[in-house]
Structure 1
């Protein structure tokens, strides 16, 4: 019913319908559909079938003709384009011919110039050979001079320190002051030697710049951290202003820039008795004197202006103060000390960085020294590279000795300095505060390799008014403690380079760090183990918001406590009196309970920082009291069991299962009780009275990991051997000495002599420390024997040479005893 037959006269439904395909070579080209009021006859059908064959041929012919026309049009178009390209090629060939002729001419000119250059080159080679020889002699002179000056000073400083520490207590106060003065003068002499060597290296071109992106916030933070205490001590105002229009960072050598600023700020404070010192960092607008190509051609220049309200510099003296050993006040009766090298060194370093230093000053009105440095168009930290490096290395140190410590835990990688710097930038993505910490800030150290969780801890610290610094590796922890003096540490058990348990043990066994509260964080339940090993608290991941709040409340509350309280549970009046006498003082208060009942009453009303418990009491035993303490649900309070009682296995089992208190260890002397109590109270032993401090130091020496170790000291200078032997004997270290490399090798190869570590002096006659170390590594069966190289560090690359020779670690003269001992402990804890 879908077809109707229509005409002008009417319409009707068809009675027949025929549909025929139009084929050409068995392919359908069209379809014929016919409707009729009558039936189609055989004749009609035959006719239509013949007609479809003809129509198929016609349609195919039309299609073929259409394609032919299209191809013809396309061919004509391509022919036109080809003609145009041929014309263009012809023009290009003509131009190339002209250029070829010009090149021939230029070639002839270049050949003439090459002949002139070759003659000049030969002349320069002769001069270069002379300069190389001179440079070699100067380099050797600097290295030898540094060694010769530092070696006797090394002995002087070590022995002076031993004297003023007065370990045997046989010196009076005046003699101790004498020893401290000797040590202070030695330090001053070392600084003078460093200045002279720096000046010599600048003049001879041995100093090179290590350029990297440096944030302006880091520069300002360095200045504030370094000089804020000085300004407060001298009652001077110290202001730092940073132009808001500065870029985020600039490319320069941060070490050299800090050295310049330190020299200029030191002078400003030295010559200013009242008023203020100001550091202003801003973008300079052609305010420098022309003539410096780097500055004149730079699109942007940053200025560091150090101004003061001091004595000023006379006009006639302003041209000479930048010369070596020249001072504005150079008479024999001068008021201010110094060598006059600081400004000369600063000027040389400024030129090394492509800048200059200019001075404006008037007598009695103060001075302004301005350091101008060029700034690149854009300086950005490659965040993508940082993230990739983080996944690969998971390290982020910022320490002067960090590369040697990396060797101690076997995580050194090629190009580590660059990669670790990148990771340091990555750490800053967490928002930590390492670049803007002032001396008055309270800092928490977060040891955590999960940066997302680290960021959560940082934000929580900020909520409580704390600054936070993130360390993601073991090697950073001790460097950051020394730099930022944290009030507490959160420590993750799983770190990329070591176990958190090991870090906890190192912290709790080092007198310099053991007073810092450590809060251990782990994904596994190890609460009892953590508390027994000295952690203040233990938290298990994942942490709920309430637990984090409690953690930081405890950190803040504990840091603000000006005194610590101890509950002494002891029924013997004489015994309790003696204990209270040795413990009390230096803001430590002792509350005595003669019975378990009295102790429990006090615990109900007071939260103590530590409990000392005599396990045998007249009314109840220690176990019952511990159970009652646990029932109070107070915060974990460390319990020191002070008792001569021999505990049964059952009693020890009960103590070990205690969940609210910890039996750290039984002690049986007042000295050990003092040491253990100070440890649990997190009191810095340096804040104690001198006699108590010595008691603790002596105990720690007896329990030190260095005790009983056999240390081979290789040095051709008997003064150094004597000085180090004197120090090591205090720590019960067995010292073996060798005055030459050959003697050292003989001792190490002697199976009857046990050697646990070698301190190797580098500068020795006949066989130096490099060669000796190489032979030991080749011949000695114990390839892991720690060898610490001791060098004067005169020239760049000394450290790398030591490591390549086979040294495990590296330390410089003059030796700082605390640093040396810490480094040795690191290797024995390894």
Structure 2
């Protein structure tokens, strides 16, 4: 297993290293290609130059078109559009110039810029010439008006004889004009009011002036036409040069663009090839890696299943051991109590010295076995985490001195001196904690010190390591138990805290013991948030140091007052318990105590009963519908209108909570099942000190009529006293048991573990009251069954055993009852 665990991470590590190397190699090649790709595009984006160049060509053609439109229409708005487009062209040339770094291309752009400037100048001059030509037409209009005037005055004109004078040559026009002038000279005027000579003179003079102006203007027009032709030739030349330069520039940019794209495609192709190769290698490595992982996974899964089975087996073993210890302990306690009791009775009879020795050996062995049973139970509970801790006030000084005195008395025959040294700061002080567990730890340590010390001394040193000025905070207390015994070797000092382990192999033979005392003490110390350490030198002795955190208490111990049971005053009680036999028992007991009782099996019945007056409530804790804690909360929330803060007493057979927990949640007193009549009266005395007095413990002689191997009615008789009352309670118990068995049988068939737990818990109460030691362990096992811990076959087997034991119990009960 170990070798497999070492190989598995190595295989995985190698696989990851191969994949990592592949990733690094691919990453390196991709980075190199990407860097080259960026080198192609980082100089200046050829795409952008290509687009900008195309835009420039379009602007050139658009500007050329707008210039022709402006010259054609001679409108100001068309010329303004031409100027705006020209400005855009200049800006575009500037922006392209910023994009390129080639000096030749920049020179070409400068040439385009200068040629376009020259072209703009030509366009402006042509436009001005065309505007001036519009003014020449006015002279022709004046001459046409003169002709109309001649016609009006009766004079003949060329148009009277020629339809289209414009088609005549100069010579033909001159001949026609001489002829028309002759005819006009011969025509007689009918208008005597106009002086012919004066009018003719004015017309001739005016016509001469106009013609002279037209002649001069024609000369200017010819010159302008020549200039216009020159400008048009220049514009054509400039346009041709522009197209040539732009075509060259566009071709260069296009060529660079194609080259860059080719380089990019080559880089992308190389990258694609690298990725294909890497993917192929990666796929092969991944298959290999997957094979290795799956192989090891299935191996690990097999080991995991094996471990799970072993874990389940261990848990079942621990559970069986715990159940065995619990069952054996219960089975041992009853005969041990009988042995010890009868041994005590025999000791009080006249005995020979030999018989006295025998009795002492029986008593000693009985106490030894009894302590072993207690230790086994405690150890089992510690391992299962089922030992609850209490926080009650106690005197540390008194506790230590009592344990020391008790141990000294037990080992008084040994020549060992016992000294107790308690720091003055700890004397006469009270602390909060669990005195029972601290007493158990000290008893084990001091007992071991006596056991392994034949002569010499044992010293108990108690001091305060840490004291907080705030009295409500925890103080750290150290208790040292030092002896001059056989000591423990250094290599064995850790072993002594393991269960069923002793320092040397012959220790049990020489000194006795079973190796649980120190293991229990260690676990109890840790449970109390403390520590237990040992220092020892072989042959010189050992020192066990217990360090415990304890909280100071202001509680003051007062001596109990001597009271009698003669001052019982009538009370009214509300009793809530789902167990009919338990309610019958308690009702009978309350009648003897002159306490009126209202009994209910469910809290809901109490709520609807309408009881207006009662003095206290006695409730079971674990019930199927409403728990005792829920009943307490309901009462505190005023769900019962007649509840005005009366005491609520809890009774439970569970050990899940500490006694202090019940007081913290609001209960006034606690009765732990099974409890005696004296315990009940003591609880009532605690709640009603002025109305109920404490009784002296009953001294009821156990007889063969009320006790045997199946049951012990001593506790029950201590409640009832009268035979009639005992018979009545047992009759109710037998009837209720028959009903419970039927309910359990149905629940077992359907594997209804919730009902099984509830019924078993309810039955346990009365079976504990009659000390049915053969039935109680089975009911306790059924009370804790669940789908996770118990199979249906196991629950059926438990139920069949329960039926057998209950049948034997019922047969045995018929003898004393009848």
Normalised to the residue count of structure 1, the TM-score between the two structures is: 0.33
Please state which structure has a larger fraction of its residues in helix: 2
Higher-Rg member (1/2): 2
